[in-house]
Structure 1
Amino acid sequence: MKKLLHLELIKNLSYTNFWVIAGLWALLYVLIMIIICMINIGLPGIESKPYLQFPQVWSMGTWIASFFNLLLGIIMIVSVSNEFAFKTFRSQMICGLTRNQLIAGKGLFTILLAVFSMVIVFLVSLVIGIIYTNFGSETSIFEKSYLLLVYFIQAIAYMAMGLFIAVIIRNAALSILTFILYFFPMEFILRSFLPETVQQFFPVKIISNLTPSPDIFQLSASPQMVTNINGQISEGAPPVADLPLNIILIVSIAYIVIFYAASVMIIRKRNL
């Protein structure tokens, strides 16, 4: 394990692209969180500042971070594509590594990146929470901190999808383009032909739902009133109920396993 991770670090830390994308991820996340702290997103009867306090800040922090998970997926795509471009996969096999170990190394690197991003989210959210929380006897700092682990799973899922696409296409530019286009509009178009009960199990949909938006950004789930062509007002169809978090986690982890298993199968059968 240590050898595989060491090899991955040697390869990836030497790439300028890695530092650029990772730095961009951290910079964008911190900047957006600072901007949110500086502005007041107000709705009638609702203030945004309480969502920067404990424990709501964990929800806000992980939700904002989820928007930048695409960059983590792109890091994985660049890492895998470089292996094919520079023939390093082939060189490592000549040196004695198996094909399974090649993917295992990427898996370890994925976990390390997910830990890195989770730590950044933890530190930023912790600092903001300390600044904006009026501490009292009922203040629960870590009540929703489990969302950090949920975000950790989400980050791994994004990178697992990036790994899968890169193993199939092998070209960095085409893989990144496919990765981004699948998030929008490809999956959105595919989902539009299916019932809502099926739509919510698509990979991007289910994985993105791991970190739902804070309450301040959520629309009411109550039935909506609609006007028909005769001008009559009636109650619209109720929305499909959201899946519970434990189901979303299970399905997301299943997708991670599928992406990695499929990547292993492809690596085993194709020339490197």
Structure 2
Amino acid sequence: MPPEPFFSGNGIDRADLLRADPQAIADLAARADARAIVWVDGLPQLDPAGRLQWRAPSDDPLFLGLDDGGPCFSTVPAAPHDYRTQFAALGLLHPDDAPLFAAALSLGNWHRRHRFCANCGASTALVRGGWSRRCGACGAEHFPRVDPVVIMLAEHDGRLLLGRQPQYPPGRYSALAGFVEVGETLEAAVARELHEEAGIAVTHVRYVASQPWPFPSSLMIGCTAHAVGDELTIDRTELDDARWFTRAEVAAALSGDADPAFLPPPPFAIAHSLIRHWLDA
């Protein structure tokens, strides 16, 4: 089994059966053990140990679920002043709180961006404890969306294909990725993205692991594939560069070698888990 990606895990009991009962949710919010996430500048606040900070619920419409029986709530956050701070917070976040962090952030951001009905344009109201919105004009109900993204490693003769995007720190290389398009299977998306970005054909696409990615609401679907050849044709509108790395180079990069061939993705990225899984296979 691959290393479990950051943000993965069971998180808390989402208590779906309670969401349709407004009185039950109100009763939960009134309990002495109920708590609500503290938000600062569009992000859940963390203590020095990276744990989520909590307060007593007040006007928190989002019911996240039950944590060891205790009700957990959140609110719809304001937009962050600087989206770069969201990624900086990940380096501090405790892994045990990561699944709940991801759920609260994705759900809150979805509500902030979907206040109007996509069917008729009228205002919508939060229902089901925050797990959907209903239009008062046409009755349409809208649910939080998840955008599927394939993220993949291609291998050829024991070497691994990695690429870098313009916004990466100097020297960083990572797995290639792209959104799954309408009417497309995961396998087809992997093959298409690798051909579009690196000019290679692949076979034997295999699923490895997935990761919720709350920026804003993606599901990263980690895969591997075998490249038919190793000649690259790089799409420079998407990538700064792409290269094949040997197993020794990958091992040195992950071990923190003083002079690595590349800087690996951070541990909270599923690309890191995929690369480690490939190295350990």
Give TM-score scaled by structure 2 length: 0.24
Structure with the higher helix share, 1 or 2: 1
Greater relative CO (CA pairs within 8 A, separation 6+): 1
Give TM-score scaled by structure 1 length: 0.25
Structure with the higher strand share, 1 or 2: 2
